[in-house]
Structure 1
Amino acid sequence: MENLGSLVEAGDLNGLLRAVDGLCQRRAWDDLVDLADRCEDAIERGKQLWPIAGHIDYRLALEAPGEYAADVLDSITPRFSVGPLTEVAAFAHTWEELATHINSPHVAAYVAQERVLRGEDLTGDIQAHPEVLDLPLRVEPWEPVYPLASYRSTFVEVAEPWEPRAGLAEVASLPAGEIDDPELTAAWLDLVSPWLTESNGAARAVVVDGDAVGAVSALTIGALRLGPLETAEAVQRMAWAGASGGAHGRRRGAALGRSLAWYTAGVTASTEWPVASDALEDALGSLRWYRFDEGAPDEGWALRLAVEDPAEGWAAALAATDLVQEDIV
C-alpha cells in the first residue's frame, strides 16, 4: 500500500487507475476501500483526485460484494460516473444481496425499484420502502418492458425504446390555440430536464384546445409525420427519457425514469398523486398517444410525444432533442 500512497501524493491519475484495476482483479476490496479513503483525504488537502475517488465508488458498486457495494450508494449520480450508483449496484446484485446493508430509506427505495425493473417482485417487502417513490414493487401487467442500462467497468450500454407497431404518416399542419396549463407542461419538460440543464438540448411543451395534430403543429415548422402509440409504448418512451441524461448530462437511472413516467402520465390523465396502478391504467385508457417527427428521423436524443383527450377536446405535445457537440457545429 506504500506504493499506492506514493501514487496518491503524486496525483498520478493513470497510475491510480491501473492500481484500481489491479485491486478489482484481485478482489482486494478492503484495500480498494483504503485507497478510496486515501484519495478522499488527499482531496481535502487540495489534490485533484475526485475522478479516482468516484471511479473507485463505481467499481465497488459494480463489482464488489453487496456489503461493500451498499456502502457507497446514494441516489445522486456522481459527477464522473456513467450512471447513478443505485442503478449500477442493482444491475450487478440481487435485492437480497444489497437490502440488509442499506440504511437509508431513500437509497433502498431506488435500489428496490431498479431490481423491480429487472424482474424482481418485492411486493410486501418493507425494506424496499415503497412510501418513498409511491410506485408498485412489481412491474404491472399493463406496463411496458422498460429500457435498462448494462454497466461495465468503464462504460454503460442503454437499451432504446422499441420500434412502435404503427408507422408514421404525413399529415397537414394545422396549429390549434394554446391553453395555459403550467402543471402539465412542467411535468412533460421534467422528463428531459438534464438534456436542457446539463447538455445541449432544447425542448418545448404545449397544451392546446384541439387534437394531437393541432398540438404537434404548434411545435413544428414544415413537414409533419404522425403515428399512433399504444399506451405502453408512450410510457416506455417517457421512462427512457426520464432515465437519460441526454448527450452530455448525467444519467438519472431507470427507477427515476419509471417514477417520472408514472407521475407525468398521472398528471396528463388528471389523476391525484400518488395513484394506484388500476386507477392509472383506467385513466390512461381514455387518452390517445402519438409520436411525430418533422419529415425525417431525428439524430441524437429525441422525445417527440403527443396525447389527446377526445372526450374533453384538448391535446398536448412535447418536442425535445439533444445532439452531441459535433452535430451542432
Structure 2
Amino acid sequence: MITYGDDRLRALAEDGRWSELLAAYRLGRAAASAEAGEEAAAALTAPLGHLIAYAAPPELAVRLFDRDGGAGTAAGVDDHDAGPLWEVLATRHSWLRLAPLLGPGPVRRLVAHTRALLGEDLPFGAEPDPEGVPMRLEPWEAAGWEEAGRVREYLPGGGARSALLTLPASREGLGEVELPPVAPSVGRPDGPRVVRALTGLGELAPWAATACVRGQAPAAAALLARDRRVVGGYLPFTLVYPALVRSAAVGRAQGSAHGRLGLWRALAAMAGADGGPDGPESPEGPVGVGGVERGEVNALVARMRCFTWQEPSAGLHHLHVALEDPASGVAWVLSGSQEL
C-alpha cells in the first residue's frame, strides 16, 4: 500500500509533481476501499494525504476532498493521520486562498472555523454558519490563549505538536476546598434544553463524565469529584474555554473546529437551561433554537462562574470543571482523564 515512506513518492514530492501524487493517493484509496472498506482505506492512505494537504499548492490540495475521481477516491471529514486532513490543509493556507477552491459541505465549514480559530477574519466567501456560530472569534474566545496553541502544529513528514489538555494545569490560585455533601434529594434539573446541553457537553468530551445540578458550581463538582476535600478554586471562563475546545480534539480524528462548534452548541442550550418551553428546532442543530442567540451566549459567558479542582491521579489529559449559570441556578460539570 502507498505510504509517504516510499522513495518514489518522496522523489515526486521533492520535484513538485503533485498531480501524480494526487493520482497515486486516489488510486491507492479506491483500491483499499474496494478491498477492505472505507475505514481501512482512510487509515492506509492517510500519510500520503497528510503530505499532500501539508505541502501541495492549495489548488491541488483541496482536490483530496473532491469526488470527481470516482468511488472511494476522496478523503472525508474523518480521514486523519496525526490529525484530520482538512485541519492540516487549514493550517497551511488562508481562507482567502481556500474559499474559492473548496466546495460546499462539512469540509468547507470545518476549514472555515479552523481559520477563525487561527485569528483570521473571514469576509471573503464566508457564508453564515448553518447553526449560527459566528465566523470570527468573540473577544472571550480569543482572550485566553495564543493563536499558535489553538490548533495542532503539523509537521511536513507526518506527526504534529499540540498542547496538553490540563484543567487545572497547576495548583496556582487554588486552595483547600470542602465540597458540599451530595444529598439524596439534590435537585437534578431536566427538560429538553437541559438534555441538549448535557448531550453537547458529552459530545465535546466523550471520555469525561457529565452531570448537572440545580445549585452552585461546587455542588456540581461534588457529583463527580472523588473526595469531599479537594484543591480547587474559581477561574474566569476565558481561561477555561481553551481546555473545553481542546477536549474534542484529544483524538486524532477530531480537530479544534469540532471543539469550537460543539461548545457553542452546548452554551446555546445552557443559556436557556431553565427547562422552559423550547422553540422549534432547526434541522442544523440547537444554536438559535428557542430564541437563544449570540448575544444570549455572550451574556451567559459574562456571568458564568467556573470552578476547577484537582484529582489525585489525573491522566496526561485531564479536565475537571463545573460551569455555573447564576441566572438559571443550574451548574454543569465535566470530569475525566485520559492517558496519551
Task: Please tell me the TM-score bracket, short chain as reference.
Answer: 0.7 to 0.9
TM-fit CA distance, 1:49: 6.7
Structure 1 residue 151 corresponds to structure 2 residue 154: yes
Secondary structure of the corresponding residue to residue 35 of structure 2: coil
Structure 1 residue 285 corresponds to structure 2 residue 294: no
TM-fit CA distance, 1:97: 2.0
Structure with more contact order per residue of length (Cα contacts < 8 Å, sep ≥ 6): 2
Structure 1 counterpart of 2:22, one-letter code: V
Partner Cα separation in structure 2 for residue 300 and residue 31 of structure 1 = 41
Structure 2 counterpart of 1:205, one-letter code: T
For residue 27 of structure 2, what is the aligned residue in structure 1? Answer: 38
TM-fit CA distance, 1:211: 1.7
- The count of aligned residue pairs is 297
Structure 1 residue 226 corresponds to structure 2 residue 215: no
Cα distance change of structure 1 residues 185 and 175 upon mapping to structure 2, 3 Å threshold? farther
More divergent stretch after superposition (50-59 vs 93-102): 50-59
TM-score (norm 2): 0.77
TM-fit CA distance, 1:141: 1.8
Cα distance change of structure 1 residues 62 and 262 upon mapping to structure 2, 3 Å threshold? same
Question: Retained in 1: the 8 A contact 2:189–2:214?
Answer: no
Secondary structure of the corresponding residue to residue 86 of structure 1: helix
For residue 132 of structure 1, what is the aligned residue in structure 2? Answer: 130
For residue 255 of structure 1, what is the aligned residue in structure 2? Answer: 257
For residue 209 of structure 2, what is the aligned residue in structure 1? Answer: 204
Structure 1 residue 300 corresponds to structure 2 residue 316: yes
| Deviation digits for residues 56-107 of structure 1 (CA, Å, limit 9, x no counterpart) | 22211111001111111366221x5221222110101111222211112432
TM-fit CA distance, 1:285: 2.1
TM-fit CA distance, 1:42: 3.4
For residue 327 of structure 1, what is the aligned residue in structure 2? Answer: none
Partner Cα separation in structure 2 for residue 178 and residue 319 of structure 1 = 19
For residue 179 of structure 1, what is the aligned residue in structure 2? Answer: 188
Partner Cα separation in structure 1 for residue 4 and residue 97 of structure 2 = 32
| Deviation digits for residues 161-216 of structure 1 (CA, Å, limit 9, x no counterpart) | 695896221211323415043333222211112x4xxxxxxx32121232222111
Question: Retained in 2: the 8 A contact 1:231–1:289?
Answer: yes
Partner Cα separation in structure 2 for residue 136 and residue 14 of structure 1 = 38
Secondary structure of the corresponding residue to residue 143 of structure 1: helix
RMSD over equivalenced CA pairs, Å: 2.8
| Deviation digits for residues 113-165 of structure 1 (CA, Å, limit 9, x no counterpart) | 11111121113x3x333233522222222223362211112101113469589
Question: Retained in 2: the 8 A contact 1:206–1:215?
Answer: yes
For residue 64 of structure 1, what is the aligned residue in structure 2? Answer: 56
Question: Retained in 2: the 8 A contact 1:303–1:319?
Answer: yes
Partner Cα separation in structure 2 for residue 214 and residue 44 of structure 1 = 50
More divergent stretch after superposition (52-61 vs 111-120): 52-61
For residue 279 of structure 2, what is the aligned residue in structure 1? Answer: none
Partner Cα separation in structure 2 for residue 107 and residue 15 of structure 1 = 23
Instruction: Please show how residues 104-143 of structure 1 align to structure 2 within 5 Å.
Output: 104-123=104-123, 125=124, 127-143=125-141
Partner Cα separation in structure 2 for residue 191 and residue 179 of structure 1 = 21
Structure 2 segments unaligned to the other structure (5+ residues)? 66-74, 274-285
Structure 2 counterpart of 1:148, one-letter code: V
TM-fit CA distance, 1:218: 1.4
Question: Retained in 1: the 8 A contact 2:81–2:158?
Answer: no
Percentage of matched positions with identical amino acids: 26
Cα distance change of structure 1 residues 256 and 161 upon mapping to structure 2, 3 Å threshold? same
Question: Retained in 2: the 8 A contact 1:109–1:130?
Answer: no
Structure 1 counterpart of 2:26, one-letter code: D
Instruction: Please show how residues 96-111 of structure 1 align to structure 2 within 5 Å.
Output: 96-111=96-111
TM-fit CA distance, 1:37: 3.2
Structure 2 counterpart of 1:185, one-letter code: L
